[in-house]
Every structure is written in C-alpha cells, then in structure tokens.
Structure 1
Amino acid sequence: MPSPQHGFSVRNGDNTPQGAFAKTGKFGRMFPELPAFTPPIDSLVVLGNAMIDDRTDPSEPLRDHPDGDNRNVPAGFTYLGQFVDHDLTFDPTSLKEKQVDPQAVVNFRTPALDLDSVYGSGPDDQPYLFQLKDKEKFLIGKNEESSDANGVIVVKGDHDLPRAPSTVALLGDPRNDENLLVAQTHLAILKFHNKIVDGLRDGSIPRKAEISKTVFEEARQLVVWHYQWIVVFDFLDRILDSNQVNKVLSEGRKFYKFNTFPFIPVEFSVAAYRLGHSMIRSSYDYNRVFTFKDIAPDSFTPATLGLLFNFTGKSRRMPPDGPGLEALLPTNWIIDWRRFFEIDPAVPVNHSRKLDPFLVNPLKDIPNIPDVPNMQKPTSLAVRNLLRGRSMGLPSGQSVARFMKLKPLSSSEIASGSDGAVAKQFCFDKETPLWYYILKEAHVQQKGLRLGEVGSRIVAEVFLGLLEGDSDSFFVRNRNWKPTLPAKVPGTFTFADLICFTKDISPIDGLEAPVPPPAG
C-alpha cells in the first residue's frame, strides 16, 4: 500500500487504479495502475518558484540569455505546438486543491489531429467562420492602418483573424486568439485552406476522381493530411528522442491503449506536452518594426510577451492605448514569418528556448488568473503546472520510468543545478513530480535540445496513437501517402513550406512570393 507520508496517495472511487482497457472518457490515464504522487502543496510552490531563468543577454536586457537558446528549433514551433494542443484538448476545469478525476473532465476538442479548432462544425452549422458569398473559403480579417518607426504608413491588408465588432475573433477555438503568435499561426492555416480551394478550382492542384467530394471537402482533406505530416515529421521530429519514436513505429504502442476511441491521457496533457512552456521566449524579433535595436536601429521595441498578449481581441486591450472595442490589429503587427521558420537563409530566425526546468522571467507572474481555494493565489506558470499535476493525481516521474522499464534519473541528476537543490530539500530527488521530471530528463539526457526517454515515449505514443485511432487520418487511409503540394524538398512538407504556399511570407515588407521559391 503506498504511504501518504512519502508523497503518494491511494486513489479512491473513480480514481481507483484500473486495467489498461477500462472504460474512459475523452480524458483518461495512460498509467492507471500507478499511484498518485501528491506531495505537500507548499513544497510544489517552492519548487515552481525556483524554475525561473532570470538571465538576460548582457548586451540587451529585453533579450533572453543566448545560453538558453535551442538552435535546433525555430521559435515558430513553440506556437505551432500551442496550436496543436488547442486542436487536441480543451479542459475548462478550474485549478483546485482537491484531486480531480480525469474521466469526469470533459474534453471539448475531439482527441484527433483533425483541425476541428479551425473548421468548427463546418460552413452550414457555423457560417460566420466562412465568407458570406463563398462558403467554401474562410473569412479573413482586415487590419487597421498604421505606420512604422519612421512614420511611413504600412499598407492596409487582410492579415488578421476575422473579428466581430467587439474585436473578439470568430474562431473554432477562441484560445487561438490568446496571443498574437498563436493567432497568426491560426491565420496561416485559414490562408492555407483558401489557397488550396483556389488551386482546386483553377486546376493548379489536380482534383481526385472522387466525384462525390465537394471542393471544400477535398481541400479540407489536403489541409488536414499536410498538417498531420507537419506535426509528425517537422515538429515532433525536432523535439523527440528518435530512438523512442522508432520503437513505437517498429514495435507498436505499449502504454497508450484504448479499445475503440482514443482519449487524451492526463500524463500527456498535464505533464509531457506542457514542454512548450519551457520553449517560450521573453521577447522576439517579430518584424522590421518590432525588433531589437541592434537588428533595426529605427524599430519601436522588441515584441515582448506582454505586447504579444495585449494585441489580441481576447485580451480586450488591442491596441493597449486605443478604444479597445473598435480596434483591429494594426498593420505594423503583421508577422514576418522568415523570423520564425527557416524560410530565407538571409534572415536569422528566433530560436525556441531549451527544454529544461527553467521558464523565462515573465512567466513567473501571470495576470488575470483565478483563485485557488485555501492558499495564496499562485501567479507562476510553473507553480500552476505542478499544482495541476497534483490535482490530477499524476504518478511520479520515477514510477513512470520504472513502469516503462527505463532507467530513472539518479538522485544526483535530479539534484543537480539550482533547481535541483530546491528539489532535494523536499526529497523530490527520490520521487519527482512528473512535469518537472520530464523537463529535468530533457536537460540531463539531451542537453535541453529534445525530450528524454520518458517524455519522448509518452508524446510519441499519444500522437501516433491518435493518428492510428482516427479513421480519416493518412496513417489509416493511406500509410504510404506523401505530401503532394509544392515543397522545398518534394515528397515532404514543413510549416515553412505551408507559409511559402500561402505566399504571405512578410506582408509588412511586401514579400508575397516564396523566398526562395519551393521546388516541385
């Protein structure tokens, strides 16, 4: 029997350990046999507050220290990862001190890479997402005219999410207007669909012989399959341990099991896939107007997290000093995609931060968050993640590693570094909260460039399992399918290729043609 004084607790009622194929809802457990790890809340607060990287670039106080950059992963993948998360899950449950039964939590997203966050219920049921005179194409929002730092007017354009008069975005998932980078990612998918519709109509994209399919249906399948390819072979390929991915591909899933319908394991959604929080930068070289002075001396300011969250309708502060309820996204805030994905070798990209137990300084004080009963409101994102894992009754990282027959991190490996010293104070070097363990594992095993064994195995099994459980995915319909749209490397497809296909690479600079032109 697990001992509560060692941080473990026994699940009762709905939280009782179950068999691998027990009936589950859209959320469930990947390791239902393992006990919950529920250390004292105060210890998690102290650990979370130690998971902050306060360092900045010696030459620029608004820029993160370059030692924390992951030069293998452009920063655009941070927000593509957030977009993917919103496509898979939506858990509206508030953070509470008591344990939560994940099977009682409703997932308002289909657990599939099907872009329901973009397409919603389709043009018949949600016509406001689509153009009034052409319901096969998405509605695109307009921008408010603005100027650059030299007072030169930036041309007007259609480069924003569609918005109601209140500035609230008209989306399948309102969270994709949470910050400007995920909003522009969502917008890129809308433009991608519309370009494919144009291509199917004018013949530049050959139509299939399936007469029963409308242009909209055929376009949606092309969009979804190319998106699925991007997620697996462009995004996950950069952040996972290839050994674990190859084992899942060659030997099949061993831990993520379901009978008929996939579900989202809380070990994935509350721990392993929260890797993206460590990838966030404090500020970005966003475009020629909002960047660092050493890049463009006449720029306004770099795009800080505060600005990126302000310039959305969801924040109700767009622009922050404007009337708010009438404003549209200013044209000088249209993204330059060359700075976020590897599109033009002449333009350096922002890098994501390393996968490690350190979050950038702005994430230690998040505004507008709900209270937590019986304790001081935790404003640190790291603290909130640790408390969320506790409330969901996640097992310890070592429990999962042992169950997977992988060698757990040693006590000395967990205790290394300033964060590890704090972890050791609470004996977390022996049994460790799962989210923290996965980030520490990435730091120890992969130097922060990829997830380690446990984290990679969880993420790989879930993503590949979701594709295998979706009867419409290319994994099921045609496992040998290859992308058919133009790409720099024919037969593959990256998010950079998607941006080039839309032709809107950097509208603020008048760059609406691929740079360089994709092959194929």
Structure 2
Amino acid sequence: MKRLAHLIRFNPDENKARPNPNLPSGYTYFLQMVAHDLVHSAISTSLGDGQTAGLSNVRNAPLRLETVYGGGPTECPHAYEASQIAFRSKLRLGNSRIDRNDQNHSGPKKDIARGTTSTAAELARKTSYPEALIADPRNDSHALISQILVLFHELHNCIADELVRGGTLPPTANPFADAQRLFTAARTACVLIYRDLIRQDLLPRILHQDVWQAYSTGQAPFPWRVGGEWRAPLEFTNGFFRFGHSMIRPIYRFNDGPANAFTIEQILAHTSDKSPSDVPLEAAWLVNWDLFFTSDPNAGNVSIRIGPWSQVGIGEDVPGEGDLIARDLLSSIAIQPWSIGSLVDRLRTTHGALLERSEFLAGLIGSRPWAARIADWLTKRSDESFGAFNKLSAQEIKTLANDPPIPLFVRFEAGLASGNQGERLGILGSIVVADVICGVLQYDRLLPGNPAGGLQGELATLSAATLGKTGSSQTNIFAFLADIEGPARKISLTTVRQFLNDRQRVTPA
C-alpha cells in the first residue's frame, strides 16, 4: 500500500493540475462534514495502523446533523450557549482575534467556541490544550472544516432567533418546555435545509449524470441495512467516500486580506489540539465563502479534479497525520471489505443497465473489465517511479489490477472519460454513494407523510407539527425561510450563505 500510495502521489497525469469548475473547494469540506454525519467510530483504522478491533459505525441516525448537535443540550451541554433557562436552545460560537496580539479576542463571533486559557504564556506552561467546544471533535481537524461548522451553528441560531423575534411560538406556563420546543423546531428546520442541500446541490455535482438521472427517476437503492436501519457501510466510509482527498489543493486563499493564503499543511495544523496558541482564529483565517463557492478558477479556490493523483505529501509534515493516501489505502483493506469484483457482480442484478454504460464495467458476471487498464497504468507508473523500493512486481500489479483497493478504483474510474475526466465520480462510485445517501433520504423520514412542495412544503408541515395544528390557514412559523432558496427557488450553499449574510446585516450578532 505504501508503494501504491507513492505511485498515486507522483502520477504526472495532466489532469492532476486541472481545476474542476464543477466542484468549488467549499464542497470538498462540506463533503467531509457529511462524512462525519454518516459515520462515527470509537477508533480510527487509518491512524491506528489498520487495527480493527472494536470498529463499527455507531451513527444510527445518519444525515440528521448529529455531527453538529451531538446528543443535544442535555448530553452535550458544552456545545451550547448557556442561558437563563436550564435548557440550552442555541449552539455556541466563539469570538475570533484581530491578530496574534489580541488577547481579548476582540474579533467577530466567527469561530467555533474554544476553551482557551487567557494568555499564550499560560498555554506554554500547561500540558493540556484548549478544547474545541463542539459536539464532534473531528469538526476541528483543520481550519476549513471548523469554519464550515460555524456556518451551521449560525444557521441554527439564526432560525432560533427568528422564531423568537417573530412571536409565532406562543409561550406556555413551562419555560423549560418552551426552550425545548424552540430547539427542536430550529434543529429540525436546519436538518431539512441540510438534506435539501445534499439532494439539490451536492449530489448533482458529484454523481455521474446517468446515475443522478436514474436516482432522480426512481432507481431503487441497494439495501445497505444494519438491523433494519439505513447506515453507511464500512466499504462506503473507509473506501468510496474518500474520493474527496484527491480534490485537495496545495494552497487555499481564505479571504481578501494581505496575508490570506495558507498551505494545506498549515491548515491541518491550525486546530485547538495541534496549535493551541494559534486559536481562536485570527482575522486572516476567517473564510470568505465567496472564494470557496465560485466556479471561476481565477477568482477562488476551485478544487482539483477527482482521479488517481494527490497533492504531494498531504499530512506528512503535520505531527500525528502521516501520508493521507497511504492511510486511506490501508484503512480500506483493513476493514476486509467486499471486493470490487464481487460488488460489481452483485450490482449487475439491480443496476446492470447503468454498469453497461461504462467501458470500465460492462461485461459478464465474473469478468474484470477494468483489470487491463489499471494494470497498464500501474506498470507505467511503476516503471517511471523513483527508486527500486517504489516499484511494484508483476504479481503485485496483477493482484492490484484484478482486485483494486476501493479508493484507487474510485479515483481511477472518475478520471476516465466516462467520469467526465475527474469532474465527478464514475458509474460505480456514483452508484454506491447514491445508494447510501439516497437510501437515507428516502427511508429515514423526519416528518409525517410525504409533504409536497419541496423544502417549503416540508417547513410548512414542520410548522403545523410544532404548533400542533392542522389546516391551510394557520400561521407558518418558518415563512422567513422562503428566501433561503434564492431567486431561482433552488437551494445551494451559496444561497444559504447569502441568507445568513442578509440576516446578520439586519441584526448583527
């Protein structure tokens, strides 16, 4: 796996340097948060040298923003703002710093909350570090994912504030129950918005067009079930969904300030754990999302195309990280997954028409139509590699080509012409991603019935459930969210960000 990782790192394919206008870099890190919301495990196979004892996915309520809310205010109080009422209804945000010398944290509330000590000197004397006061510590694994989390904390708090300001939730004689109702209403609205973002904005960007069309018109998901519940299988979490690591840029421009560009190594190191003296974030580290959600490669941070390549040495210079590519490969085989061949053979009975549209997959049960192309690629890369240690033997190449590790297969397939040369996933990668995510969205219902009218219909149904009323003439307590879909009535991360910007201009934090 280390030799294979070396070949991926030093792949000279011209696509490696080509930007992907279909996937601005903001989606790279939104994908990471979605991954955290699909899987939660007590151990890490990639950082634990492939140890799998105790490995399981305990995220039994996927895509409900448990990665943001945790177990709620009663189980995870540190992630929530303290209030006069015993039940906390809003998520914490923390003040940023104007610069390194700002010990009073005088910047805007645009960082996650952090349990910092008062001075850098005090930090230097302590062996502990300032905890990130969030529900899922993985969301402070680097400076970009923590800023994505801030967006969702802001969204929840904005919804809660508007519900209070609108006065449409009549109080009862029990303030504790009122606070619970406010929290539940805001959280459920936030989850509905989040799921619509996945359905309308994310999936159409990452899935192969033929697969997206099939799932938009009734393709039944493959039943990835655990005890009757929809959960993300380890093949997905430790294999297929790691494709985002090939999209990472070497440098990101955070904002329009004079010192606004940071390497991926700097970004990975800028956390409460790894760099406690560098948090809260300074103004230079606060993200201007306009630079991360534009398809113009000259204006922002457009991602790298998906394929069997990666920026050299991601994570190698960060203590405790190691080579990200090798970690992905090791993790994917340590879980003892379905082989690509067996999975494709099984899917031929349910998704055969889609598989036949790919020259990489079309064939009879038992055939391995991808083997020759992967073998040619491995042979060429191995011959071009530097040093005898990095060369693969003929037997290793044959084995890897017939039974490739999932991350290699998904990247390789996406880089083919049938995968739009890395603009999105190929057929098989798209099928598995769609099966898992669309399965959750289809079968895990948050509301009674199947509300018509898209997001606004769902919010109207949630309003009725919150108020305990029925009928078309009642007040819709979420009417203020009509603008979140933008003028085209289609939600995206850009429209959500604009909605929050507009609200914050009217009512500053």
**TM-score of the pair, normalised by structure 1:** 0.73
Q: Residue in 2 aligned with 1:274?
A: 242
Alpha-carbon distance change, 328 to 251 in structure 1, aligned in 2, over 3 angstroms: closer
| 1: CA distance, partners of 2:371 / 2:244 | 25
| 2: CA distance, partners of 1:353 / 1:216 | 39
| 2: CA distance, partners of 1:366 / 1:108 | 31
| 1: CA distance, partners of 2:415 / 2:428 | 13
| 1: CA distance, partners of 2:108 / 2:155 | 17
Q: Is the CA contact (8 Å cut-off) linking 1:305 and 1:362 kept in structure 2?
A: no
Q: Residue in 1 aligned with 2:281?
A: 329
> 1:409 deviation in Å?
4.5
Between Structure 1 and Structure 2, the one with more helix by share is: 2
| 1: CA distance, partners of 2:376 / 2:148 | 37
Query: What do residues 373-432 of structure 1 show as CA deviations (whole Å, max 9, x unaligned)?
Result: xxxxxx322112111121111233233223322325433432454686447842122332
Alpha-carbon distance change, 463 to 65 in structure 1, aligned in 2, over 3 angstroms: closer
| 1: CA distance, partners of 2:487 / 2:413 | 33
| 2: CA distance, partners of 1:359 / 1:473 | 41
Worse-matched range after superposition: 496-505 or 440-449: 496-505
Q: Which amino acid aligns with 1:463?
A: I
Q: Residue in 1 aligned with 2:165?
A: 202
| 2: CA distance, partners of 1:354 / 1:86 | 22
| 2: CA distance, partners of 1:208 / 1:73 | 43
Q: Is the CA contact (8 Å cut-off) linking 1:482 and 1:492 kept in structure 2?
A: no
Q: Residue in 1 aligned with 2:487?
A: 489
2:55 equivalent among 105, 121, 130: 105
| 2: CA distance, partners of 1:140 / 1:465 | 33
Q: Which amino acid aligns with 1:107?
A: N
Aligned residues between the structures: 427
Residue 23 (structure 2) pairs with residue 73 (structure 1):
yes
Q: Is the CA contact (8 Å cut-off) linking 2:265 and 2:317 kept in structure 1?
A: no
Worse-matched range after superposition: 185-194 or 254-263: 254-263
Residue 271 (structure 2) pairs with residue 312 (structure 1):
yes
Q: Is the CA contact (8 Å cut-off) linking 2:94 and 2:111 kept in structure 1?
A: yes
Alpha-carbon distance change, 478 to 276 in structure 1, aligned in 2, over 3 angstroms: same
Alpha-carbon distance change, 208 to 222 in structure 1, aligned in 2, over 3 angstroms: farther
Q: Is the CA contact (8 Å cut-off) linking 1:270 and 1:389 kept in structure 2?
A: yes
Query: What do residues 257-281 of structure 1 show as CA deviations (whole Å, max 9, x unaligned)?
Result: 4562122211111111111111111
| 2: CA distance, partners of 1:253 / 1:66 | 32
Q: Residue in 1 aligned with 2:387?
A: none
Q: Residue in 2 aligned with 1:399?
A: 342
Worse-matched range after superposition: 155-164 or 496-505: 496-505
Alpha-carbon distance change, 348 to 491 in structure 1, aligned in 2, over 3 angstroms: same
Which 5+ residue runs of structure 1 have no aligned equivalent? 1-43, 57-63, 149-153, 290-298, 320-326, 371-378, 506-510, 515-520
| 1: CA distance, partners of 2:11 / 2:315 | 10
Q: Which amino acid aligns with 1:272?
A: F
Worse-matched range after superposition: 412-421 or 123-132: 412-421
**SS of equivalent to 2:402:** coil
Q: Is the CA contact (8 Å cut-off) linking 1:312 and 1:318 kept in structure 2?
A: no
Worse-matched range after superposition: 120-129 or 407-416: 407-416
**SS of equivalent to 2:91:** coil
Percent identical among aligned pairs is 24
Alpha-carbon distance change, 117 to 52 in structure 1, aligned in 2, over 3 angstroms: same
**SS of equivalent to 1:314:** coil
1:356 equivalent among 294, 297, 307: 307
Which 5+ residue runs of structure 2 have no aligned equivalent? 117-128, 349-354, 356-361, 363-367, 383-391, 457-480
Q: Residue in 2 aligned with 1:342?
A: 294
**SS of equivalent to 1:70:** strand
> 1:217 deviation in Å?
1.5
> 1:348 deviation in Å?
1.8
**TM-score of the pair, normalised by structure 2:** 0.75
> 1:119 deviation in Å?
1.3
> 1:141 deviation in Å?
0.2
Q: Residue in 2 aligned with 1:162?
A: 113
Q: Residue in 1 aligned with 2:423?
A: 449
> 1:66 deviation in Å?
7.8
> 1:235 deviation in Å?
1.1
Alpha-carbon distance change, 255 to 416 in structure 1, aligned in 2, over 3 angstroms: farther
Q: Residue in 2 aligned with 1:225?
A: 192
| 2: CA distance, partners of 1:200 / 1:186 | 22
